[in-house]
Chain A
């Protein structure tokens, strides 16, 4: 039956294959299908269709059996996933359970995964801050990692392109450290956040800024959102359940249905990518080897361009596991730097306090964002004994007290009333970490997972630079809090808290000018296998302090544009 194989190859052949359907994979799907490419999206998890598969989204609090708490057994079975703040009774079904994919922790690292259609775009914190040249020039200026092969001007139009589709609520601040974007209306800072903003501006002579945290929420109806079937954010603040309004951006609510409408999208769930197929004769990648998560059968799919958007660590894994005669150390890995220079965001410390002012004021309702403090350390030159710096979240909310003393009628009476206390104020640090050669991902030589794929070995930790930065953050924010008249200021550092819960792991397949010292070029193509692009967090040369998803989306759209132009050249 000679025709059988030919047919099956034909049926399994597409113009483009995208590995992963999360934040960046969804964008690749949208861009390619819109440009007319027959596109296969491979998703290792189950299908989660917008609205239909958000089982808890319209539940009232009293309909949750455990009032939002996760059961003891579920916590015991999933010590890693359960450490994520978003692992709740109403959202735990969107987290990959620990047993699904064991990994080796050379040093403790909490690897949070969400294998399903849409991936972590269902669960993200939706903060969308642009990088600036002060970030892109960081490694070159400060002598770490390698120089980014792009600058802000290269990505700025793509930030705008993505933001107009996603919908970003923001305020124009005119800051060089955090460029403005395409903003919809702001939901506003509250009066205590404004107080902090004003005090900080005055004390530091406008060198430190407290701004409204830009976030991927629709705050103005526009045609482009209606076409996606998305409506304004209803400030439910239940994003982790999936939003029936599409008020916040996710692949599920936005890019994937958009791609589906073109008729060019083939979506395959339960498709665990084993490796990318490299053809020594053709000198390029020809397809992807996929294991069916249910039957464990292997199938090969083919395309002329392959986008790797499997999430930072999985993208590294797939490339490391893609061994051929030409690339015995993994695809594109001539320089043996694949899986190295991994970094993350340092979220280890937070600070809290109380404010006794504005006592005649309060907020009502639930705002799905908070204030944001862009990096103010080492912005234009090196000023401290550590490299780079940190951004921070900042939030103020009025305390509401309820007296739970008493028994019987007096208790019921107490519970029928509430009173205002002081304002709670809090901030958390988002520190840039330095990618280092010894911060690595590798494949365990012996241990494999249920699909026979080598387990990932993670070797990452905080370093001296991080410790110094934590100390500085606590000192600076204590000073800022004191200046604002905040009381009862407490720093919360958990030194044995493993990295990972920032869920901002980056690098390993970094971009750079030189094939000797980087894996990807300025278009996110593997230097030595140009029809393979990596546009998720794995491509990041340095981390900056900003929440990275927006940058992944912009880089993806830019790389898709490049790939299509290249293919037209033939």
Chain B
């Protein structure tokens, strides 16, 4: 119960943030500083819109508010091979034309429900271009990883303890059916 209250309170505290659209679609903003990937603001905004669709703002913070998009960019920029980076950017650049071709509209102009159904359809389309699919599935994989690695998730959803304390290892704990399972315990 306490945890739920805490999460609710967090919702109230971040309420201001939730009242406004989480995506800043304005092109007048500072671009993320990357070392290798050459991207423009429009591409950043597109990725943000996709992240916002994968992990939307609800009564808990969404991916964009948690800056999961930055994690995706940084991981792509620093940790992936040039081949994977190339495929990722190729896929990213195929996204808008493909959406336009199939739906006659621009992704970032769609409403949330429409974006979700468009993204689902694209990700399930096995006939789609493999770079596009790779881009979408890589983005989702990294978004999930990044989300689970956020301070919010690791303190509010699945609390992680840096210092569990001496003899905190329980060798044989009986599981009670109604207890919440903490994947970071």
Contacts and interface: CB of A to CB of B under 8 A. Distances in A.
Interface of A: 58, 60-62, 65-67, 69-73, 185, 187-191, 194, 219, 232-236, 238, 358, 360-367, 400, 402, 404, 407-409, 411-412, 415-420
B54 A363 contact: no
A15 B152 CA distance: 57
Nearest to B84: A72
A234 B160 CA distance: 14
Contacts of B62: 412
B148 interface: yes
Contact of A362 (B119, B140, B163, B173): B173
A236 B162 CA distance: 6
10 A-B pairs with least C-beta separation: A365-B169, A191-B172, A367-B169, A232-B166, A188-B171, A418-B181, A190-B171, A365-B168, A418-B183, A71-B78
Nearest to A65: B74
Given A61-B160, A400-B181, A72 B166 contact: no
Given A408-B116, A415-B148, A234 B56 contact: no
B91 to A, nearest CB: 17
Contacts of B80: 72
Contact of A189 (B163, B171, B181): B171
Contacts of A62: 149-151, 154
B116 to A, nearest CB: 5
26 contacts: A60-B151, A60-B162, A61-B149, A61-B154, A62-B149, A69-B79, A72-B78, A72-B81, A187-B167, A187-B169, A189-B171, A219-B167, A233-B166, A234-B163, A235-B165, A358-B172, A360-B175, A361-B175, A363-B173, A365-B169, A367-B169, A408-B53, A408-B56, A411-B144, A415-B153, A418-B183
A234 B55 contact: no
B120 interface: yes
Interface residues of B, number: 50
Contacts, number: 133
A139 B28 CA distance: 75
A420 B148 contact: no
Contacts of B157: 415-416
A411 B52 CA distance: 12
B147 interface: yes
A51 to B, nearest CB: 14
Contact of B60 (A73, A189, A402, A412): A412
A120 to B, nearest CB: 24
A366 B165 CA distance: 10
Interface string B79-96: 111000000000000000
Contacts of B165: 234-235
Interface in B41-58: 53-56, 58
Contacts of A404: 144
Nearest to A73: B78
Contacts of B175: 360-362, 420
B169 A236 contact: no
Contacts of A70: 79
B170 A363 contact: yes
Contacts of A66: 74-75, 78-79
Nearest to B160: A61
A404 B123 CA distance: 14
A495 to B, nearest CB: 25
B181 A417 contact: yes
Contacts of B55: 408, 411-412
A366 B171 CA distance: 10
Nearest to B152: A62
B53 A191 contact: no
B145 A234 contact: no
